[in-house]
Structure 1
Amino acid sequence: MKTLRVASYNIRKAIGTDRRRSPERVLEVLNEIDADLVALQEADRRFGVRTAAIPPRLLESHSAYKPVPLNVQTDSMGWHGNAILVRKEAEVNFFDVLHLPCLEPRGATVAEVSLNGIALRAFGMHLDLSGLWRRRQAAAVIHSAAQGAAMPTVLMGDLNEWSADRGCLADFARHYSFAPCGRSFHARRPVARLDRIMHCARLHVVECGVHESAAARRASDHLPIWAELALT
């Protein structure tokens, strides 16, 4: 059975729970997870030129990943902090950025990738703190995912939703299934499932979870989540 391992990780601009900025620790965690595709949130610094939180040379020399080339800002890895990493041998067939309705600057990213004999479309997102705007943003992502050719689709990110099944979660649930990964926030003592992985009916979850290594508890205030997916 052919599978792909995907992951979602809010790296908090590489600032750990000890308030130290260390992209090396983030890469250590990514190497531990060993995913084929990773959706990152807060992958760029928030102010100024918004440079990538993980320097490109460091990513190239200390990981198995390359960023999907969004071609938006020269020094940034992502779009409003959202980035997608794939294995260096993966073929990126399409990529784009999504402009989301927002109270504060928000966006999402999408990439179509071929790896391990599977062609997959992946969305990465970081939704608003406001419940009303989260639902509007969820509607925009759902609409975008419904466009174009039908293909296996996974949606990942920090949804910022504290409820168990209401708000934007209920909106997404009408179209996608949730991988039961577990609680990812706060990294030192996880109490909430803010980070989510969702998939269409053409995919099923073989295995999933929250990555709770010692390095992950230090590298960010969110723990990364992951899912092993196979074609239905």
Structure 2
Amino acid sequence: MTAGDAGVPLRVVSYNIHSQRDDTAALAAVVREAKPDVVVVQEGPRRFRWRQRSAALAESFGLVVAAGGLPALGNLLLTSLRVRVTATRCQRFPLTPGRHLRGAAYAECVVGRDARFTLAGSHLSTDPVERPGQAALFKRELDAAATPVIAAADLNEEPAGPAWATVARGLTDAAVAMDRADRPTYSCANPRRRIDALLVDPRITVVGYDVVDTPQTRRASDHFPVLVDLLLPASG
């Protein structure tokens, strides 16, 4: 079997970094130790000097900025030099008066010779009335992708919720695929809810899933990072 037949490996981290309010040295160490190819960040820099702060965050992880930041309202896509980014776009969900602005970031990527995929990240509202509409807008973009999707998001609800069901429709839940759906991702102080999703196109094979719970991750943010190993289909 050739490497192309076996699939092209990709390591993904999805991480709500709590606006870097916690131990930033621990945060950088957590990501560097994971050695990801891509990191999907929620609550990344989105205000004053967001470009410089996003670049500094990426550098602390040993990665580069692919997309997001202020145009995606804090959703940030970071990649290693192994991943080539061919196109990016950002999305803002309609503002509900009195609520926070929310959005999403997308990047068209290639790894290896011809393994193409769409990387997407979002962070949905804490408001259960507002959240389903945002999920529908995010899902519409995922469904329109021309290449296999890898979607990582803080959905702010558990898998039984309607917004989660909308986003997950037709995709593989990496936690379920590895029989680890019982692992909470939030909060580090009182772990009891799985609200951070990593969802992939069925053509992508999930070969590993972990919610990284260590003393270091408990210092780094209020969410645990989700670490997933995938095999991507070659496009050729």
Bin the TM-score by the shorter chain: 0.7 to 0.9
Partners of 2:130 and 2:49 in 1: how far apart? 24
1:44 equivalent in structure 2 = 45
Is 1:197 the equivalent of 2:193? no
List per-residue Cα deviations over 1:48-98 (Å, max 9, x = no partner). 5263695634643x432001144xxxxx57621100010034211111001
The reply to whether residue 80 of structure 1 matches residue 73 of structure 2 is yes
RMSD: 2.2
Structure 2 equivalent of residue 13 of structure 1:
19
Aligned to 1:141: 138
1:172 paired to 2:167: yes
Question: For 1:100 and 1:58, how far apart are their aligned partners in 2?
Answer: 25
Task: Please say which of residues 30-39 and 173-182 is displaced more in the overlay.
Answer: 173-182
Structure 1 residues without counterparts, runs of 5 or longer: 17-21, 71-75
**Structure 2 counterpart of 1:30, one-letter code:** V
1:35 positional shift: 1.3
Are 1:158 and 2:154 an aligned pair? yes
Work out the number of aligned pairs and report it.
Answer: 217
Structure 2 unpaired stretches of 5+: 1-5
- Residues 1:176 and 1:215: Cα distance change in structure 2 (over 3 Å): same
**Runs (4+) of structure 1 moved beyond 4 Å?**
52-55
TM-score (norm 1): 0.84
Quick check: 2:73–2:92 contact (8 Å CA) kept in 1?
A: no
- Distance of 1:98 and 1:128 partners within structure 2: 14
Shift in alpha-carbon separation, 1:90–1:173, aligned structure 2, 3 A? closer
Aligned to 1:65: 63
**Bigger shift: residues 125-134 or 181-190:** 181-190
Does residue 124 of the first structure (1) align with residue 117 of the second (2)? Answer: no
Instruction: Look up the SS of the partner of 1:229 in the other structure.
Output: strand
Give % identity.
28
Higher share of residues assigned helix: 2
Asked if the contact 1:184/1:192 (under 8 Å) is kept, the reply is yes
Match of 1:73 in 2: none
